Amino acid sequence: MARGSWQPVRILGKGPWSLLPAQTWSVLTDFFLFAAGLSVFYAVLVLARTWFGPFNPHVEISRDPSKLPLYAAYSLLRITVAYVLSLAFTLVYGYVAAYNPKAERIMIPLLDILQSIPVLSFLPAVMLAMVALFPHHQIGVEMGAILLIFTGQVWNMAFSFYSSLKSIPRDLREAAKIYRFNWYQRFTQFELPYAAIGLVWNSMMSVAGGWFFLMACEMFVLGSLDFRLPGLGSYLQTAASAGDTQAILWGVGTMIAVIVLLDQIVWRPVIAWAEKFKMEQVESTDAPKSWFLNLIQRSRLLIRLRKRVINPIRERLALHYAREFDAAHEEAPPATWKVWTGRAIASLAVLAVFYAVARAAVMLAGLNTFDYKQILDGTVATFGRVMVALIIGSLWTIPVGVAIGFNPRLARIAQPLAQIAASVPATALFPIVLLVLIRIGGGLGLGSIVLLLLGTQWYILFNVIAGAMAIPTDLKEASSVFKFNRGMRWRKLILPGIFPYLVTGLVTASGGAWNASIVAEYFRLKDHTYTTVGLGATISRATDSGNFALLLGSTIVMALVVVTVNRLVWRRMYRLAANRYTLEV
């Protein structure tokens, strides 16, 4: 067909727009994308300008619904910056942990500890450090909030990337050695593509986790200090504290609208794009699709940008690292300075650890017998609630996640619903749940398990969906050809296929449950504080009262419990997933 002739546009289907010529539609697409990009850039500049303004310790959060678009923009910018930092951390941390056995023995238990430490335990050090760095500018509090959101996003992404690298098939690694791939070629040609599906779904879960902890990150009390930032989280926290149900519904509705918009223009296109990295010999007949991805793929502006800017940069990077790889094999590298540099860094790290241990010992000396008993009783109670939440969450998320992952049509409907459910802060809905439980006699003892479940079950669901989607189509068709019954299909295909992803989901859900205990076991409603026995409640009370010794002691005990579980359970399951349930030829 000649250029500029009339032809239907598939991305819009039938209708008056389908009468536009392809060339005209391409111009309109370019104009739309350029205008949208310019608008986003301008909005970021306007919002970021307040970051460098003077520090305002008395921010008033209005419950007026007209403020919600501005609050949503602030929160979205913080979550986006935190996600970019999380992605960069994930790629570096996961890569080093997967390929350096000595570092792996320290980095993976450390990652498990960090992902289980509640946000409020990071809060004092992060916020005081950021405010001290920028005492006269708003950016100090903003960076503190972003880093707190980062701590709620990054851990499950890092676990997912590490798990994917550890489960790469042996034949791919051998092929890379035969063709003498350098690290850049390995990373871009098969390591990152192999991890793409799991990383995409865990990215969605991470952003959902950012929305979940937004209330704790944008409005919090630290002793006599009251830090507030304009945003959806602070709006919902203000509405929940005042018991304003109408304002809560307005805030939750705005959050849902933002999540649906992100699903359409970000996550659904990324899922459809990541489908090409699926390892299979038979192409799926019903692959995920995205109207927005089809739209941008027809943009001549983006095509030219890719050809003239992105592709040349990729080629130069590949050539640069290829030359370094050849030079490294031709002559022995001067390793002396590297050895001494490593020793110097290790020595400084050891000194820093000894200094931190000494300071912690001095602080813990202020604890009394009642404090230790409080920590011990709280640990037992919270451990029981975490186990119950994991069991209940697994019972429904595994079959539902497999059903969604095996059915792309169902995924198109269930994916945004799951994102919305995972993103809406349970603490915003908890006043209603708590009042109902109080009336029926459940109280916060039962309510804390409900809140833990609302905050952690999504980690399992999203990872199971990713695992089910990653199962090759040819294996699914083989199970149909050999007429597997339902039980055999689960034993021989589904459970082995999703097992590495399920382990990641359980690990991150366990850490998320410990993290969520700070809001599940200690909750304020109007002028009354509801609490129950638990380690999360101990941490929340210590934060509110500025009792840093109790806060430190509770956090250390939580870390010890997590390390023990990691040694006895999760490390063995990761080893089993890498050795037995890896897809290999």
Helix ranges (DSSP H) in 331-368: 336-364
**Pick from 120-124, 212-216, 291-295, 361-365: least confident:** 120-124
- At a CB cut-off of 8 Å and minimum separation 6, what does 217 contact? 78, 119, 145, 148, 149, 152, 233
Span of 61-75, 384-398, 520-534 with lowest mean pLDDT: 520-534
Closest CA to 212 of 405, 462, 42: 462
3-class DSSP state for residue 225? Answer: strand
Residue 214 CA, distance from chain mean position: 13
In which band, very low, low, confident or very high, does the pLDDT at 10 lie, cut at 50, 70 and 90?
very low
**CB atoms inside a 10 Å sphere around CB 257:** 14
Sign of the CA dihedral with 399 first, then 400, 401, and 403 last: positive
* pLDDT higher than threshold 80 for residue 30: no
Residue 90 clears pLDDT 90, i.e. is over it: yes
Q: What is the mean pLDDT of residues 151-160?
A: 84
Neighbours of 497 (CB within 10 A): 21
Backbone angles phi, psi at 64, to 5 degrees: -70, 125
Among the listed residues 577, 412, 578, 418, the one whose alpha carbon sits nearest the alpha carbon of residue 495: 577
Residue-wise pLDDT tens digits, 37-59:
777 777 777 777 777 777 766 67
What pTM, to 2 d.p., does this model score?
Answer: 0.73
- Per residue in 416-435, pLDDT (tens digit) is 777 777 766 665 666 667 66
Q: What share of the chain is helix, strand, coil (3-state, %, to 5)?
A: 80, 5, 15
Q: 127-136, 282-291, 293-302, 477-486: which has the minimum mean pLDDT? A: 282-291
Residue with tokens 């080629």: 315
Contact indicator for 533, 99 with CB cutoff of 8 Å: no
C-alpha distances in Å from residue 560, one per residue of 154, 263, 310: 21, 38, 46
The pLDDT value given to residue 425: 61
In angstroms, rounded to a whole number, what is the distance separating the alpha carbons of residues 534 and 363? Answer: 22
Checking if the pLDDT of 398 tops 90, the result is: yes
How far apart are the C-alpha atoms of 567 and 573, rounded to whole Å?
A: 10
- Cα–Cα distance for residue pair 329/300, rounded to 1 Å: 42
Is pLDDT at 328 greater than 70 in this prediction?
A: no
pLDDT tens sequence across 350-375: 788 788 778 778 888 888 888 888 89
Residue 177's pLDDT is 83
Tokens matching residue 229: 């930032």
| Cα separation values, 332 from 177, 183, 335, Å | 20, 18, 8
Domains, the chain, ordered by start: 66-298+358-580 (1.10.3720.10)
Q: Is the pLDDT of residue 213 over 60?
A: yes
> Over 70: is that where the pLDDT of 349 sits?
yes
